[in-house]
Every structure is written in structure tokens, then in C-alpha cells.
Amino acid sequence: MSVSLPRRTGRAALGATVLGAVLSLAGAGVAAAAPVSPSPGADGVAATGSHCARAPKALKRIATVESRVTTRLPKLQAAEKRLTAAGRSARAGKVEKRIARLQKVESRAATLAKKIAARCPQTAGS
């Protein structure tokens, strides 16, 4: 038996994960736009490669999010079908909104994974 977080906490954690991954790579767009040669920083790592060092962790989080979404979607779709068949259209509408939100999260996660793979091709295989 698994312990699940309250819905609000789960959504907040999911949003924070995706937001953190986006913010960790936000500097990559600015760094890619500037044609300045990379110079080592205080820690000795070149400035343009520092964002790719975080890519494996972000990709792992994205994979976790995607696996949870693919686990939850069939359950919610079955629940919606049951509620609709039972004539509980108001509740079925709420479940349908949850399904739409999960599908939106899934598409955002996939888009983010593609962006990471495009910017950091050496981490795409990991």
C-alpha cells in the first residue's frame, strides 16, 4: 500500500520540479546568445558547460514526472468513464479537468526534455 500526498502538495511538488528544471537551464539561452568565448569561473568550470552539468538530474526528474503521469492517466480515465456511466456528470467534469492538467504537464515535461537534449547532446543518452 503506497502513501500518497494530498493533491495540492503533489501538484506543488510537480510544479516545483518542472519549474526548477526550467530555471536551471534558463541561463543556457542567454549564454548561447552571447558570442563570448568561455572562460573558467572561480570553480574552474567553463561558463557555457555549467548548465549541462545539471542536465542529468533534470532529465531524471522529468522521467519521474512522466512515469507518474502515465501511471495516473489510465486510472483517471477509467474513473471518468465510471462516473459518466453512473450519471455523475459534475464529478466526471472535475476528473476530466484533472486529466487535462496531467496531459498538459506531460507535454511540458516532454518539451523540456527535448530542449535539454538539444542544448546538451552529450547528456541525451543518460
The answer to whether the predicted template modeling score (pTM) of the entire model surpasses 0.85 is no
Structure confidence at residue 6 as a pLDDT band (50, 70, 90): low
How many C-alpha atoms does 54 have within 13 Å on its Cβ side? 14
Asked whether 48 and 38 are in contact (CB, 8 A), the reply is yes
**Residue 15 grid cell:** 510544479
Distances (CA, A) of 42 to 25, 37, 55, 84: 20, 16, 21, 61
Residues facing 46 on adjacent strands: 40
In the chain, where the domains are located: 51-126
User: How far does CA 40 lie from the centroid of its chain?
Assistant: 30
pLDDT digits (tens, 9 = 90+) for 7-63: 666 666 666 666 566 556 555 554 555 545 444 444 444 435 677 888 999 999 999
pLDDT digits (tens, 9 = 90+) for 10-22: 666 666 666 566 5
